[in-house]
Structures are given as structure tokens and as C-alpha cells.
Amino acid sequence: MKSKMKKGVSKDGRVKVTTADNIVWNDQNSVQEQFNAMMPAEDIDVKEVFGIEDFTPVKLHVNYDGYNKTIKDGEDFLKNFNDALSWVYDNHVDADTVSVSNFHKDMMLEFERVFMLQNSKLIKLDVSFEKLLNLLDVDINMLKEFQYKHHDNSHITAFFLNRDGEPEDTLKVRVEIEDFTTYTKNQTENDMLKAGDDLIAALKEVERFSKVYPMTITQGISNFLLFDMSKNQYRINRTLITR
């Protein structure tokens, strides 16, 4: 629908638009207000006007194996971190001198900082970190191994927040089930999923009257459906939907 409008400039320099109904709009009016003014008085379905379809993502699959594995990796991650802290406390460093957040970022660097701070004054000698390790009989290789394992779990989400949002010196991990959940991405995929469900329902109905051969069916529809022998049931071939 076209609207007859005249465009001009007001005294204050603002752009103004006058519609066929002599309604004046300037750049202070919203685009939506201008759109509404130019449309008929009856209710307008904006989605219909612009060809926008309703779409609601549908859950396709939850990777519980990946989810459970990440939970186990998170537990191992925390155990390795706490074991590393225990090692530090057992090697001439007091717990209250360590910044746990800095230790999370770089175990070796934080240990060197607090180790030198606490022990270099005791022997009253200007020695290097390596020399001080030897004097106090500290094998740093164990900490190197802890650090390697710590940074080898890059897929783990670690944080230092408690329930009130205040920082604290306790490392935690977060594993969200949504990160392992797959959804349809558009209406076409929803339609494919519905077609698969309808076909499965139809095959189940046909089984009441005739023998159905699942392998023949799946081949005949180019594996749009797959047949799970262990569960004795059809399922949609998700690789066709999410590829």
C-alpha cells in the first residue's frame, strides 16, 4: 500500500513529513508510529505483512554421554587443582600467602612469587629461584605436571563466584546441559521433524495389518528414518536435519 506524503523542513531545521491525512511527523517520532499512522485503522498482522513465519526451536537430542564425561572431567579438574595447592602448602609456603585466582591462571608463576617472598628472607641470601629450590630440596617437576593437567582441560568453565556474587578463594566449575542439547534451527527443520513423526505413526498403524520390514523401509526413503535394532523403534535421522 502506498501512502501520499510530502517532505519538508521545519523552521527549527528538523525534517518533517506530512501524510495525505495532514498528519505531520518529524524525526522525533518513532518509525513504528509513522508506520501505524500510514496503515488502516483495523488491526494489522505485521508478521503477515512482511512474510515472517512463527518458529519455535524443537529439541532434537541431548548428548548425555558428552555431558556426563564433562562432569567427570570437571571433577578431575578440581581434584588436580586442589592437589596442586596441597603440594604448594607442603613445600615451604603458607596458605594465606597464595592468591588462588592467580594460581589458577599460572601455578608456576604464583608459586615462585610466594616461595621467594616467604623463603628468601629466611636464608638472608640473594639467590635465584632455582637456587633456592635446591637449597630447600624442592622438586618443581611435580607442580609442572599439575599445571599441564590444569591447562589441558580448556573445555572446563571455571569461576570464582559464590551464591551472592562475591569473589571467594574457591575454584568451581560449571557444566550446563544446554551446551549438549541440539535444537532445530528453522521452520524447514521443524517440518522435516514433523514429517518423520507422522511417518513413524503411519508405519506403526500399518503394522496392525501387515508385516513391515524396517530395513526395506529405511532404504526406500534414503535413510530419512533410521531403525534402532536395540530399541526396536524408528527414529528421525538427525544428520539430515542438523547438517
Q: Can you tell me the distance from the alpha carbon of 181 to that of 61, in angstroms, rounded to the nearest whole number? A: 6
Give the per-residue pLDDT at 24.
Answer: 47
Is the domain of 36 the same as that of 78?
no
Whether residue 45 is found in the same domain as residue 78: no
Compute the distance between CA of residue 107 and CA of residue 5 in angstroms, rounded to an integer. Answer: 69
List strands edge to edge, sheet with 5-9. Answer: 5-9, 15-19, 24-26
Residues 221 and 137 in one domain: no
Residue among 26, 8, 6 at smallest CA distance from 18: 6
Average pLDDT, the chain: 83
The domain in which residue 33 lies consists of 5-49
Flag whether pLDDT at 7 surpasses 70.
no
pLDDT of residue 25: 46
In this structure, are 74 and 147 located in the same domain?
yes
Inside any domain, residue 36 = yes
pLDDT of residue 78 exceeding 60, the answer is yes
- pLDDT exceeds cutoff 70 at 64: yes
- What was the pLDDT predicted at 53? 66
Do 167 and 193 fall within a single domain? no
Helix/strand number for the chain, H first, E second: 10, 9
Long-range contacts of 203-209 (CB under 8 A, 24+ apart): 203/234
How many structural domains comprise the chain? 3
pTM, two decimal places: 0.66
60's grid cell: 532434537
pLDDT score of 167: 61
154 or 87: whose pLDDT is higher?
87
Of 134, 176, 131, 174, nearest to 156 by C-alpha is: 174
Tell me if 212 is assigned to some domain: yes
The H or E element that residue 63 is part of is: none
The Cα 65–Cα 69 span in angstroms is: 6
Q: Examine the domain organization and report whether 78 and 144 are in the same domain.
A: yes
169 vs 222, more confident: 222
Residue 87's pLDDT is 98
Q: What is the DSSP letter of 39?
A: S
The percent of residues in the chain predicted with pLDDT above 90, rounded, is: 62
CB neighbour list of residue 10: distance below 8 Å, 6 or more residues apart: 16, 26
**Would you say residue 57 lies in a domain?**
no
Cα–Cα distance for residue pair 99/103, rounded to 1 Å: 6
- Tell me whether residue 204 is in a domain: yes
Domain boundary residue, one of 141, 176, 211: 176
Q: What is the pLDDT of residue 18?
A: 47
Concatenated DSSP letters of 153-212: -TTSEEEEE-TTS-EEEEEEEE--GGGGEEE--SHHHHHHHHHHHHHHHHHHHHTTTS--
123-133 residue pLDDT tens: 777 889 999 99
pLDDT band at 88, cuts 50/70/90? very high
Q: Cell numbers at residue 167, please? A: 569473589
**pLDDT digit string, tens, across residues 159-215:** 887 656 556 678 899 999 999 999 999 999 999 999 999 999 999 999 999 999 999
**CA-to-CA dists, residue 210 to 60, 70, 205, 220, 221, angstroms:** 30, 46, 9, 17, 19
Q: Are residues 71 and 157 in the same domain?
A: yes
Domain contains 217: yes
Q: Are 77 and 42 contained in the same domain?
A: no
